[in-house]
Structure 1
Amino acid sequence: MTITYEWGDSLYINITNRCTNNCTFCVRNNQEGISRGMNLWLEREPTVSEVLADIQARDIYKYREFVFCGYGEPMLRTYDIIEICRYLKNAYNMSIRINTNGHANLICGQDITSQLAGLVDAVSISMNAKNSKEYQELCQSDYGEKAYEAMLAFAAKCKKYIPQVVLSVVDVMPDDNIQSCREIANRIGVDFRVRHYQS
């Protein structure tokens, strides 16, 4: 079971295969559970203790950052992430990033962004569309069209507590849609990135 894996100078943490989206472009739909030469499908969700043990088995100081990202939406385990981050900050004081769809406040039923203060250094949020209708068509969220505005609101709230907040899109979008998304990110006051699509 792959709980942690390396990519560049980052250590990635894979804690769930559940997701609140079913994106049409998701690599999980295009490959048999293989990413970067690894099978990221979990037999079950690892406990916090198992996650920490897997991290501690690594040569931590060769990494630049920890990244919560795997074959699922990590914020479905928001409170476990907070617990893990608290330990990692105390033990290693390294940068921590979360790659997310931005549904954490919907998942938790409350605004949890203040609980990430001092623990998370960067959050990368998959924006993927210029409006709620197109987002739902593409991402097929469990929350329906309200997921899009909730995602943007999450990004804006994260800005108060997290040093780097990025909204991202995949480069398969038409250029004018990418520009529209960039303008929305600028209006919110967060960074914007175009991700390369890996089929």
Structure 2
Amino acid sequence: MTPASEPNRDCPLCPRLQEFRDHHRGANPTWHNAPVPSWFPRSGLLEDVRLLVIGLAPGLKGANKTGRPFTGDYAGDLLYDTLVKFGFAQGRYGADPSDSLKLVDCGITNAVRCVPPQNKPVGAEINACRPFLQATLDKLPKLEILVTLGKISHDSTARALGERVAAVPFGHGVEHKMGRYTVISSYHCSRYNTNTGRLTEAMFHDIFRAARERLDAS
């Protein structure tokens, strides 16, 4: 039986995340408040996906509210503007799943599918969600490049691909060959990282420029 690539709405694997999710279902009943599914081109043609962006986890008032990765918080502003700039998306990002934005040859997922308190999943939660990441990778036959946003995403992706984390260390702009994929790691496009100067817009653009050049060359 093929493993599921998405957890069900009431996934019980992580008790702490389940409790947090249930609390917000009561406090904010109009929000998504469930595992946030991966987002792919609306055509549904998974065989066209050549680039996968792998984030950390849904933001409380972003994807956890809207149900679409990186939608509704600052990280989405930078990510989606960048994807449009380098041809991985078209349309206008409006911080709402009903906007006109469409992905092009690109998919977006998270290492952890449920929102964690303080945006910090613990090791057991990252491990519990990794099979969904593995199954997501397995269903994309033409996938070539993975862009991992942040060290947690990078390390979980490496483990999903059977790599020793010490052998493929995280670093902004660092590329590793992992199996059949090229993995490009980036600092996460969070407000904290951009406000502190750890990540600039130019640095983030460099990541997707490299991905674009690699895909165009192949």
Q: TM-score, normalised by structure 1?
A: 0.36
With a CA cutoff of 8 Å and minimum separation of 6, indicate the structure with the bigger relative contact order: 2
